Structure 1
Amino acid sequence: MRWGLVCKPDKKSLSIGKEIYELIGDAMLEKKIASYLAKPGHTIKEIGENADKIVVVGGDGTILMVLRYTTKPIFTINTGSVGFLAETEPDHAVEGMKKVLDGEYIIDERKRIKAVLNGERLPDATNEVTIHVSNVGKILSLELTVDGIPTEDVDGDGIIISTPTGSTSYSLSVGGPIVDPSIGAFIVAPIAPFRHISSPLVIPDNKKLEVKVMREKSAKVIVDGIRAGMLSKGDEIILSLSEKKSPFIRLEEDFYRRVYEMLSFSVKRAKDGKNKGN
């Protein structure tokens, strides 16, 4: 078994990474944690291709970056803010890692979105593909078709197409629903629609979605928070279910507990912010 270890480059994450490294012994280390430990380092891409399993210490952004380069199982330790994708918190990192090493875990395979822009395949999305107007203050006009059938015209800042995994992320912030990952679906949510009749759609993930730019405005294509391309008038992006998956190492099946904790955290943070302002 060859482990990989990737850490967010901050003191807390690197310190936890050191503890994990001491537990698992020899591992392929990403360059930042390798430098911290004075060991040889590798790129995330190299780790993604050659490690059998990967430990990721960081927030959702770090986790999504690793998944961009691998389909290997990952065990995730949260050192970010909400960390909805992460399996365990820093206080339980060592205990959780010991359970994984003892084989006390399950694999939670999450679906991805395949995105093809003007014939070129982009990186798959674990969370979402976002199409967003390039110039702030301008309206982007998009046409959405499902299996070749015109379904909705969106005039606004853009549109988000997310997986159930991504339904708790950017999509949720624009009014999209939370969808259980066991449900095979795409969530299509408009961003700041000019027409208020536009509303999120939940579409079976065996459908093919096409989004086309209808007016002479440029748009950015963003995959899991990273810019992946541009769209101009007449360009289209085709979205479908990927053949690849994102496998998470889980200590237990607890999606609804995570949802509860995430929403409770958001309410607490909002209250704390309000109290500070008084």
Structure 2
Amino acid sequence: MRIGVYGREFDAKFARPVKQLLDALHKEDFSLVIHSDFCSYLKDQFDCAFHASTLNTAEDVKDLDFLISIGGDGTILDTIAIVRDSNIPVLGINTGRLGFLSNVAVEDIQNTVKCLKERDFHLDSRSLIKVDGLEGITDFPYALNEVTIHKKDTSNMITVRAWVDDVFMNSYWADGLIVSTPTGSTAYNLSCGGPIVMPGSENVVLTPIAPHNLNVRPVVIPSSCQVRLEAQTRDQDILLTLDSRSFSIENGASVKLSRSSFKVDLISLPGQEFFGTIRSKMMWGIDKRN
């Protein structure tokens, strides 16, 4: 089997388990294809060569069976722009911080390799948001977590007008507006008071960022709806963010959001499930009465 490997620089404490992972994959006769930048970093980190091909573009992943992401949740988001609509499953090894998406601990390396070899895992299909109106800005107008319109200047609010299926919904006077998938509901959306939505739910959440009206609350709508947003500001530009990728758009620009025609598959190993991850990462149930 051919396994792609993508990652970011990691803390020194993760060097040994990452090396163990790569050695274990090679020992099991997996054919490794490592992202070129990460491969260069690994060679410098370990002062050795790897028996691996390199990948650079989305075209290079077509023959992969899996793609392993080594890093945090932000690294997982990077991989989405690599796998795109190829249906290649992604497995996240957590060398970052919280790790909602990259939820395989480095202590589980040997079991992880065993599960991959035996295909003992299940796939969680995650929906994405497509953004229309960014022609010439990006060749991958999709977000796994959220699409956010927010102010560029630190001192002024912006006004975001929102329509759902061409029906006017609201004008938000705020620092910005988040349109989140269920996957992204535990990210920026959650920190702004939005609800946690189970993966697989066919919904998106509209959550204002620091609204100047206490009556404005997050709204959950079906993912089959189309959302149109127009933002006004005193500044010239506004920031539009797709996951971790930010772009400047013109004042008054209109963007349309809809459910993407494809999904991304994330690998979950035996014993991993959503509420278990929530309890672990968010420390639910940490109470002396339990």
1:89 aligns with 2:113: no
Q: Which residue in the other structure is 1:230 paired with? A: 248
Structure 1, 12-21 or 124-133: larger mean CA deviation: 12-21
Distance across 1 between alignment mates of 2:243 and 2:60:
20
Q: Which residue in the other structure is 1:257 paired with? A: 276
Q: Is the 8 A contact 2:17 2:107 kept in 1?
A: no
1:102 aligns with 2:154: no
Equivalent in 48, 59, 66 of residue 72 of structure 2: 59
What is the identity percentage for the equivalent residue pairs of Structure 1 and Structure 2? 28
Distance across 2 between alignment mates of 1:263 and 1:169:
12
1:113 aligns with 2:129: yes
Q: Which residue in the other structure is 2:21 paired with? A: 20
Q: Is the 8 A contact 1:140 1:215 kept in 2?
A: yes
Q: Is the 8 A contact 1:5 1:17 kept in 2?
A: no
1:26-69 Cα offsets, whole Å, 9 max, x none, are: 21012344232424533264554442311111100111101122
Superposition pairs of residues 128-147 of structure 1, within 5 angstroms: 128-147=146-165
1:175 aligns with 2:204: no
TM-score scaled by length of structure 1: 0.88
Residue aligned with 2:185, SS = helix
1:112-158 Cα offsets, whole Å, 9 max, x none, are: 11111255675311101111101111110110000001101111110
Superposition pairs of residues 132-211 of structure 1, within 5 angstroms: 132-211=150-229
Q: Is the 8 A contact 2:18 2:106 kept in 1?
A: no
1:74 aligns with 2:65: no
RMSD: 2.2
Q: Is the 8 A contact 2:163 2:229 kept in 1?
A: yes
Q: Which residue in the other structure is 2:36 paired with? A: 31
Residue aligned with 2:98, SS = coil
Residue aligned with 2:104, SS = coil
Q: When the two structures are aligned, how many residues end up with a matched partner?
A: 267
Q: Is the 8 A contact 2:134 2:141 kept in 1?
A: no
Change (3 A) 1:53 1:236: same
- Runs of at least 5 residues in structure 1 that lack an aligned partner in the other structure: 269-278
- Runs of at least 5 residues in structure 2 that lack an aligned partner in the other structure: none
TM-score scaled by length of structure 2: 0.85
Distance across 2 between alignment mates of 1:244 and 1:205:
13
Residue aligned with 1:68, SS = helix
User: Which amino acid is the alignment partner of residue 80 of structure 1?
Assistant: G
Residue aligned with 2:17, SS = helix
Structure 1, 40-49 or 129-138: larger mean CA deviation: 40-49
User: Which amino acid is the alignment partner of residue 181 of structure 2?
Assistant: T
User: Which amino acid is the alignment partner of residue 34 of structure 1?
Assistant: C
